[in-house]
Structure 1
Amino acid sequence: MSTKRKHDDDGGEEAVHESRQQQVYGNPKPAKKPRKTEPAVHKKQAHASSVNTIKKRIRDVSRRLERADSLPANVRVEDERALAAYEQELVAAEAEKVRQKMIKKYHMVRFFERQKATRQVKKLRKRLLESKTTEEVEALKTEMHTAEVDLNYTQYSPLSEPYISLYPPKTADTEEDGTAKPKPTMWFEVEKCMEEGTLQRLRNRVSSAPAPAPKVKMQKKPEKVKSKPEPEPMDTTGLNRRQRRAQRNQKGVFDKKTTKNKSMAFERNQVFGAQQGARRNEADDGAESDGGFFDE
């Protein structure tokens, strides 16, 4: 039976593979390769919701500079610098607000057109691999370049600017004379940026156009209420309560409580009550009686 080798008989570092040398105790570890970091093209701007806060700060600093005549020189210089910084922050915040609005507005159009351009690039790439003649290859390369520019246009068109569709509806795809509509101006700019390698800078470009003014809602004119003609006042002088009520019932003027019920039985009861009231009035106009049985 063979005996085990001692630790010293292993051969030392020569028995360890080159890829494992860094794991041997005492050997220095290789220095890590520095990561290639590209400088950030799009600087993070202030959030859109901070516009009102920045405006408030600008207003406070401006009022302090206008009202305080006896400010020390150093305090006045600090306020002026702060005012200039706040104004720059306000411009950046308003630009970010417009950018977020444009992204939300054209998100769906960009997505659908990017899917369509991607399918077209894959289809042309497959045809290019299957082509055999030189003329067909050259024609497919031209179409391939156009499709790649279309795809980059959907991805790297400036986010803070209005997006013009590459694939309009079939009715608006051609001019009046039947020719195809030309590509938008931004398409050629994307093609130029592809050659220069500055597509990311184009995507995050800040628009120089002024922010759109908010829409003013038109106030509706108040509707004219047609006034109902008031009923003519009735002459009720010399009449008792029953007579006045009977006169109102004859003219069709009722109280709010009585007008709610419009059934036939209710109207008959009203007529019957008016008749009974008239009879009682006639009886009251006769000779007075002491209530005796033999009164004539």
Structure 2
Amino acid sequence: MEEKRRNRGQGGNSSQKYATGKHKAKLGSAEWAKKRTRSIQRMMSRNGDIPANLRNDMERELAAHKSTINEKTFQRRRSAMISKYHMVRFFVDEAYTMHHPHAETYISLYGTIKKDDDEDATEEEKKTAAAKAALAAERPPMWKVVESTMEEGPDALRQLRERRSATGDDEASAPQPRSRDSRPAPRKERMANVIAKQNQSKNASKPTGDRKAAPASAGEQQSGGKTGGLNRRERRRIMRETMASTDKEDDEGGFFEL
């Protein structure tokens, strides 16, 4: 009775199995490759009567396991280095060098630093390694801008690289097209304005006694309303003067007129 109880264990289940205390490595892992490498090396060192074909197979398997161990070790060390030194800071440094604005002065992140405090030190001791000094060095202001721009995506980084001004206001620095309001008035409007001004000056220069003169006939009033009280010769003279003045204005300020 007691033997059956001991076989069943503490939970009373006879099918319960106790662990042997040995960890079995997973096939294909670095630990399994190391164990298999040690076992092959022991077999080759203890048994000198192994046939040549089996020895060749064991040597090829041993070389394959060593290559797997080296690759796994490198990947593990690479992951540790990325988590220790690189990560976000390294990627921001890379984006800083690639997407720094072309129109602004570039400040290097990995410049060589010289120490002049110790006069007896050699040249090699005065120069600090660039990578080591860059870890503790203060980043330029543009580095923070690039770090915040990375969250917006690659398009924002390209816009940062191609921006025109340091404030980021590209619309203010870009040449503005000439609006229609700033264009000079058409030639016909300028001619009409000149004729109207001349008529006003003539009316102002007339004596006051003319106001008592008899009104003109209906036909003269109608023709005077259209021509402004000028005959054909005067109108032609005014048109020639107006054409000359407009041509002069076009030569001076009409270069940008579309």
| TM-score of the superposed pair, with normalisation by structure 1 | 0.26
| TM-score of the superposed pair, with normalisation by structure 2 | 0.29
